[in-house]
């Protein structure tokens, strides 16, 4: 017998192509305006998360140096 086992790489690649085609069909059915709104929403949420992470970082300044005079 010359059968491939289930879940081999060619089958996985085929399922990925089917998934991309499904997304394209859904985008065509929903309409470009709705897809654009969803993409803008995802971009806004991503920008908000990145902005919060950048703002929450503590400022790292130079350490306090104690200057002493020689006796």
Residue 8 has pLDDT above 60, yes or no: no
Task: Tell me whether residue 64 is in a domain.
Answer: no
Question: Which pLDDT value is given to residue 41?
Answer: 95
Report if residue 8 sits inside a domain.
no
Please provide the DSSP assignment of 42-59 as one string.
Answer: HHHHHHHHHHHHHHHSPP
Q: In this structure, is residue 20 part of a structural domain?
A: no
Decide if 41 is inside a domain. Answer: yes
Higher pLDDT, 48 or 65: 48
Which residue range(s) make up the domain with 48? Answer: 31-55
* pLDDT on residue 49: 93
To 10 degrees, what angle do helices 9-30 and 32-56 make?
110
List, for residues 13-53, the tens digit of each pLDDT value: 888 999 999 988 888 888 888 888 988 999 999 999 999 98
> In total, how many domains does the chain have?
1
């Amino acid at each position: 017998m010359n059968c491939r086992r289930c879940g081999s790489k060619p089958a996985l690649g085929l399922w990925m192509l089917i998934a991309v085609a499904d997304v394209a069909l859904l985008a065509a059915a929903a309409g470009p305006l709705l897809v654009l709104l969803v993409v803008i929403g995802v971009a806004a949420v991503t920008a908000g998360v990145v902005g919060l992470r950048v703002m929450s970082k503590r400022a790292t300044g130079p350490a306090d140096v104690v200057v002493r005079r020689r006796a």
